[in-house]
Amino acid sequence: MSVTAKICGLSTPDTLDAAVRYGARHIGLVFFPPSPRDVDFDRARGLAARVPGHVGVVGVFVDPDDSLVDAAVSAGALDVLQLHRTAPDRVAALKRRTGLETWAAVAVKTRTDLAAARGFVGAADRILYDAKTPEGAALPGGMGLRFDWALLDGYSHPLPWALSGGLDPDNVAAAVGRTGATLVDVSSGVESAPGVKDVDRIARFLQAVLHL
């Protein structure tokens, strides 16, 4: 089984270069001002210019309007839209508008939360299972929370999928072993502080994935 990784919430050249150097298949740029990982369009443009062709650039959004997506796509040379707290019909509309691959985040705390994934059939290209954040939380992810991976036991996934939520260099192997994920997504698990990526942790995470 080949496992690939996305390093999300990158905002500096040195950490982006580290993600590419150590083997990330995707990098994520966050376009959501409440997040400590938010990047403006000028920074996104500079970062995207450093990404080689074999690495996908994912724009991360929270129920965005058309103008934000249009500006981000133009600035960030995006390959994928990753959409949080976004209804299936809106995901489908953004896919049509941009022509880009779409990933829809499904927030998970209980087994019944997985049912939301089926609503994205025909709208999204991939489901991203992420940990559900506390009620009223400003951020939909990137808080270091994980859900019980056993919730995915025996689940029939309606679409290709990725695993997110509380992953780090020390638990990613166990996460993949339990769930069978072939794409893993990390943000806070490779940080030294919220929004501050750590080159050594990025390297450790990607080396752990490489050896799966």
Q: What are phi and psi of 50, to 5 degrees?
A: -90, -10
Q: Residue 200 and residue 12: Cα distance in Å, rounded?
A: 14
What are the catalytic residues? 8, 130
Indicate the DSSP class of residue 187.
S
Any idea which residue has 């036991």 for tokens?
Answer: 153
Q: Residue 126 and residue 41: Cα distance in Å, rounded?
A: 25
Any idea which residue has 């929004």 for tokens?
Answer: 195
Helix, strand, coil percent content, the chain, rounded in steps of 5: 35, 25, 40
Instruction: List, in sequence order, every residue forming a beta bridge with 4; answer none if it has no partner.
Output: 183
Distance (Å) of CA 95 to CA 38, 39, 64, 91, 102: 22, 22, 13, 6, 6
**Which residues lie below 8 Å from residue 175, measured CB to CB, with a gap of 6+?**
149, 163, 167, 181, 184
Give how far the C-alpha of residue 29 lies from the chain's centroid of Cα atoms, to the nearest Å: 9
